[in-house]
Chain A
Amino acid sequence: TQLLEQSPQFLSIQEGENLTVYCNSSSVFSSLQWYRQEPGEGPVLLVTVVTGGEVKKLKRLTFQFGDARKDSSLHITAAQPGDTGLYLCAGEFTSNTGKLIFGQGTTLQVKP
């Protein structure tokens, strides 16, 4: 069974602080995606990484894919209250099945 472990599960920080969220697996991903979910809404795709070592930036968010494609991280610089939400990583382990395995998520609260 392929599992994704996210850490930490909960994070409460002050506006302006930096943070990193981790997503790990014992299996190799074909691709990995990060989603953000706000209360009362469905998850929204932030980014997809496919190449080992790949780094992508989305404004203050930096996503990194591990060299071995078994782990990923999301770093937020100078967090803002608008960053509050549930962050989910999701991996495709077997190419071309269309199926994603989701992590349990990291709940982030950014206090003003």
Chain B
Amino acid sequence: DAGVIQSPRHEVTEMGQEVTLRCKPISGHDYLFWYRQTMMRGLELLIYFNNNVPIDDSGMPEDRFSAKMPNASFSTLKIQPSEPRDSAVYFCASSSTGTGNYEQYFGPGTRLTVT
């Protein structure tokens, strides 16, 4: 299996611009998670989906952040407008109910820099 795929790997943008991060989960997995990681705050859960439906978005910082999962093989996290404090590494992860313990498999991450 190819594992979780994220794109782009690096993104540098100016404050106020729209940023879209993309994720392809492992085929057959029914859960998808978006995390943000910084030195100060560690790994934070932003939102997660089950069978393409958002279950918990309480970690989304504010209305500038939105996430969609139009089908089982694709999800996006959008920031509009972006701000310097959004600079972080964003991870997508997927898991399967079938394993019983919900082990999560992470993508390589997108390093976002907002100047």
Give A residues with C-beta under 8 Å from B: 31, 33, 35, 40-45, 48, 50, 88, 90, 92, 96-100, 102-105
Contacts and interface: CB of A to CB of B under 8 A. Distances in A.
A42 B109 contact: yes
B45 A88 contact: no
Nearest to B49: A98
A8 to B, nearest CB: 15
Contacts of B101: 31, 33, 48, 50, 92
A42 B95 contact: no
A40 B108 CA distance: 7
A105 B31 contact: no
A104 B42 contact: yes
Contact of B106 (A44, A96, A99): A44
B27 interface: no
B105 A45 contact: yes
Given A31-B101, A43-B106, A98-B31, A105 B43 contact: yes
